[in-house]
């Protein structure tokens, strides 16, 4: 589990439908991470932490579903 996704840097699991979507998703993550350092006040910082947590949880869910699907194909 610790090395899951290292071979392709999670590209297979988090692949976008085309370069435009991939660029959009990278931009969203970059904007979110940059804004984490620019939050004004604790309420704004908490809101941004919540957004980042939601993003990371959904990325983990996508990874879990992809691994589950791959295991189904292998008959496990």
Per-residue confidence band for 1, with pLDDT thresholds at 50, 70 and 90: very low
Residue partners of 36: CB distance under 8 A and separation at least 6? 45, 48, 49, 52
Containing domain of residue 29, as a range? 19-74
Does 35 reside within a domain?
Answer: yes
Does 42 reside within a domain?
Answer: yes
Does 1 reside within a domain?
Answer: no
18-76 pLDDT, tens digit per residue, is: 888 878 777 777 777 676 667 778 888 788 778 877 877 777 766 666 666 666 666 65
Query: How many separate domains does the chain show?
Result: 1
Does 4 reside within a domain?
Answer: no
**Dihedral over Cα of 44, 37, 48, 24: its sign:** positive
């Amino acid at each position: 589990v610790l090395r899951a996704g290292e071979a392709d840097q999670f590209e297979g699991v988090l692949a976008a439908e085309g370069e435009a979507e991939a660029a959009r998703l990278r931009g969203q993550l970059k904007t979110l991470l940059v804004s984490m350092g620019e939050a004004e006040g604790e309420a704004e910082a908490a809101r941004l932490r919540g957004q980042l947590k939601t993003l990371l949880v959904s990325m983990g869910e996508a990874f879990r579903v992809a691994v589950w699907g791959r295991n189904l194909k292998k008959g496990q």
